[in-house]
A and B are shown apart, each in its own frame.
Chain A
Amino acid sequence: MSLTAEVARSQGALRTFLHGLPGVDQVGAEQRAAMLGTRSIKTTAKAQALDLAIRMVDLTTLEGSDTPGKVRALCAKAVRPDPADPTCPSAAAICVYPAMISVAAEALRGSGVHLASVATAFPSGQAPLDVKLADTRAAVADGADEIDMVIKRGAFLAGRYAEVHDEIVAVKEACGDAHLKVILETGELATLDNVRRASWLAMLAGADFIKTSTGKIQPAATLPVTLVMLEAVRDFRAATGRIIGVKPAGGIRTAKDAIKYLVMVNETAGPDWLDPDRFRFGASTLLNDLLMQRTKLATGHYAGPDYFTLD
């Protein structure tokens, strides 16, 4: 029996497995994250990191005020982030609410930029399972090729791991060929031990990506949380051979921060994860800072903010 099948066979087995994972010492994890944050990435390494970070951005708008016009503008930005520089790569994906998928699908057609939709009663996840599954199926039918779901944090915190697990399995099935990113909402999980357990739970249930946050809860993505998730995907690969992606989302606004994350990926999960298929940034304002730093590196001076499009 595979690890996934063996662990997932009952609530008891899941609990035993998740609570048998090594603990996380929060002080130690924070120190390690802080140390990696002191790496100095300059010149050629910085140029490489900035381009990679741009290729990893899931350009996101998740507002009640989103309109087709706003989404189309964002799609154009994702395809050609820097209209003045054709060598600038495209972002990885657009991430929108389900109601905006068809607009985005139209705007992105043929561009190679992925289309992600949040689903499953995002951001709280507080809806019946059949509603969540319908939400997911509709999103895929409208053209989303990536689904960002939220886990049931209440069930997780209450220790009902099987319930969380089975729901992810069901959503994964509803996704069909679409990639599933499972949002742990680490800001509500409170401890790094829980982050590690939730990461494993999501991976065991079939997640393609594990994602930190909805962006609606503070704190959103942090370096220590991402460190623990990167350790989890590294260990999961060692145990099963499967590579799961990681997506920190929310609160990453500067190129400097993004580079800290890339250093952490490089030195924790390893260079195999330095790829948009395996690591993403859920962000909106980050992209412009990446572009600004990219231009600075190429030209030697900063261009004013008006030289970068506000979308």
Chain B
Amino acid sequence: MDFQYAPAPESRSVVDIRSSYGLFINGAFVDGRGESFKSVNPATEEALADIAAASAEDVDAAVRAARHAFDTVWGPMPGRERAKYLFRIARIIQERARELAVLESLDNGKPIRESRDVDVPLVAAHFFYYAGWADKLPYAGFGPDPKPLGVAAQVIPWNFPLLMLAWKIAPALAAGNTVVLKPAETTPLTALLFAEICQQAELPPGVVNIITGAGDTGRLLVEHAGVDKVAFTGSTEVGRAIARAAAGTRKRLTLELGGKAANIVFDDAALDQAVEGVVNGIFFNQGHVCCAGSRLLLQESVAEEFLESLKRRMASLRVGDPLDKNTDVGAINSSAQLARIRQLSQIGEDEGAERWSAPCELPSRGYWFAPTIFTGVTQAHRIAREEIFGPVLSVLTFRTPDEAVEKANNTPYGLSAGIWTEKGSRILHIADKLRAGVVWANTFNKFDPTSPFGGYKESGYGREGGRHGLEAYLEH
């Protein structure tokens, strides 16, 4: 029997989107002096709101507000008092979870199931977790009296807009820093709603400042002389430019950059769960995940069987309206990203890899890309080396564990990796040899505020999350 799920859309009326947004500086929304731009719903190409762009003067005002708040309020405040604000913010995030989830899906294109069940709960969890650290910093292992750095400039990407904000702001504030944060130009709305939450929590003005704009605004912010610390999540290319700009200054720097993670499936894996894990590894969030398992390394003895199961599973992925509660894969975040995914996929075909896309009907408006795998890929293919940042999986095979390790490590990146086997000793043996910041065993894309996250090699440096995440925001 054909069982079609009727549309089950989450109501967008739970969130009020203003027609235009200013910059959040010193506890209030102010007009930007740059040329405003629009944030677009990638699923429909509908403009959601006008967003102010921060000019050099605006950036300067935000940094000065942050400095003032650091010197007069937040820096001197005892940790147990700072914790109260962070706990309050965490609770408000939980109370307004539905609103945040709907807004995130509208602005980013990710399925509501994901923003509702993954992003927003993790955001609240991050604030709760770091709230707990605020009065315990002397016991964090960074000396008896670690000090905050001052003003942190934070630039975040569009793939997990609110979650990346939480990863940046929660540890910075817990450690006693004040922040100026710039969300990505295509996904500023949840950060601006977070600014309202800061107001609602009566956070002292200037502790959190949120300025919007494109790459230029980000550059002005990280290059500003009044900044003590720069934290960036995004592409390796931009990360390099930031590292160059910060070199020779007093600024401390953490970078969380790209990845090309290997997901290694051994022939003794629990195959049905491994298929799920591979699907989750690459199609979660449309593959817009820096730690996505974008290279599948299959042991040759199960390759054929596994690929058959993988294709069958991919055919059941539900691609479409991000607000539909039954959607598994949403919209590509922007036309620029869609163009890049298309370009690299074309290169994959031109280089001789075999392309297979899940049979699914894509909406006519908006930015969409069907979940796709490439087989017959070798280490020499560009789609095996470059980060595609989309729902595209490159499949390679291996014969022995050593070969798997060699191929997994043969990349300039080193953010994450996955191992699938029912044999515990193999997990330990292989994990020890993989050069990646996170190694998942029999799971993938699992995040927790207590666990540090970060890369090897060109995937960046510094760790976010856990006790380790505090280090980037403390003088010791």
Q: Given A41-B5, A262-B3, A271-B3, are A24 and B326 neighbors across the interface (CB < 8 Å)?
A: no
B8–A40 touching, CB < 8 Å: yes
Choose among B2, B3, B8, B443 the residue with the greatest number of A CB atoms under 10 Å from its CB: B3
B272–A27 touching, CB < 8 Å: no
**Which B residues are CB-close (under 8 A) to A25?**
270, 273, 422, 442
Please count how many residues in chain B sit with their CB below 8 Å of the partner chain's CB atoms: 24
**Which A residues are CB-close (under 8 A) to B326?**
39-40
Query: Bound state CA distance, A52 and B1, in angstroms?
Result: 9
**Which A residues are CB-close (under 8 A) to B1?**
52, 271, 274-275
A299 interfacial by beta-carbon distance below 8 Å: no
Minimum distance in angstroms from A195 CB to a CB of chain B: 12
Q: Kindly identify which residue among A27, A42, A231 contacts B6, using a CB–CB cutoff of 8 Å.
A: A42
**Which A residues are CB-close (under 8 A) to B269?**
22-23
Query: Bound state CA distance, A52 and B4, in angstroms?
Result: 13
Question: How does the 8 Å CB contact mask read for A23-60 relative to B, with 1 for contact and 0 for none?
Answer: 11101110110000011111111101100100000000
**Which A residues are CB-close (under 8 A) to B442?**
25, 27-28
With A24-B272, A28-B270, A231-B272 given, name 9 new contacts (CB 8 A).
A22-B271, A23-B422, A29-B272, A31-B276, A39-B5, A40-B325, A44-B4, A271-B1, A274-B1
Main secondary structure of the interface of B (DSSP, over half): loop
Q: Which residue of A lies closest to B316 (CB)?
A: A267
**Which B residues are CB-close (under 8 A) to A52?**
1, 3
A sample of 24 cross-chain residue pairs with beta-carbon separation below 8 angstroms, ordered by A number, consists of A22-B269, A22-B271, A23-B268, A24-B272, A27-B273, A28-B443, A29-B273, A32-B273, A38-B325, A39-B5, A40-B5, A40-B325, A41-B6, A43-B6, A44-B4, A44-B6, A45-B3, A45-B6, A52-B3, A266-B3, A267-B316, A271-B2, A271-B3, A274-B1
**Which A residues are CB-close (under 8 A) to B325?**
38-40
- CB-CB contacts below 8 Å: A261-295 with B: 262, 266-267, 271, 274-275
Question: How does the 8 Å CB contact mask read for A243-276 relative to B, with 1 for contact and 0 for none?
Answer: 0000000000000000000100011000100110
Q: Which residue of B lies closest to A275 (CB)?
A: B1
Minimum distance in angstroms from B25 CB to a CB of chain A: 40
Q: Which residue of B lies closest to A39 (CB)?
A: B326
B270–A45 touching, CB < 8 Å: no
Query: Bound state CA distance, A269 and B280, in angstroms?
Result: 20
B277–A28 touching, CB < 8 Å: yes
A28–B273 touching, CB < 8 Å: yes
Question: How does the 8 Å CB contact mask read for B1-28 relative to A, with 1 for contact and 0 for none?
Answer: 1111111100000000000000000000
Q: Which residue of A lies closest to B422 (CB)?
A: A23
Q: Which residue of A lies closest to B276 (CB)?
A: A32
